[in-house]
Amino acid sequence: MRDIVAAVNDPELPSITIAELGILRDVRMDGETVVVSITPTYSGCPAMGVIAEDIAAALRAHSYESRIETVLSPAWTTDWMSESAKQKLREEGVAPPGDAICPQCSSDDIRIVSEFGSVACQALHACVSCGEPFPYFKTLR
């Protein structure tokens, strides 16, 4: 069952699974029900409702009943992201947490454009060398 849940993609970062993102905390059985524990990347993350629905749908497709639990403590940290998730971010033109380099040209000559990007967990940076703007996935610890 864990493999079914682990394969669910994040709706804001569709090439990355919830397991790679590090928000999948636990999958266990409670009688006939699969109980899935997830932790949001930040409190109030609007994607969590969609993620819960996607998990339930994936399990339902395999004839499992489910209950989704949100676990807030300990809080999610970017340290929980897998290296494969960080690589996928780079490939999509998003600088992963801790990478202060341009995903387009690999220059470290960058500047912050805005602390807020298209989603709350990202900021907008720009490369001074190539001039390209790019999202930066904020480091949270």
Name the residue ranges covered by the structural domains of the chain. Answer: 2-76, 89-137
pTM above 0.85, yes or no: yes
What is the band of 16 on the pLDDT scale with cuts at 50, 70, 90? very high
Over the Cα atoms of the chain, what is R_g?
17
Q: Which residues pair with 123 in a beta bridge?
A: 136
Which strands make up the sheet holding 122-127, listed edge to edge? 110-114, 122-127, 133-137
- What is the tens place of the pLDDT at every residue in 37-94? 999 998 888 899 999 999 999 999 999 999 999 999 999 999 999 999 999 999 999 9
Secondary structure, 3-state, 37-52: EECCCCCCCCHHHHHH
Cα gap 6→55, rounded to integer Å: 9
| Topology annotation, domain 2-76 | GMP Synthetase; Chain A, domain 3 (3.30.300)
Which strands make up the sheet holding 33-38, listed edge to edge? 24-30, 33-38, 65-70
Q: Which of 97, 93, 116, 88 is nearest to 19 (CA)?
A: 88
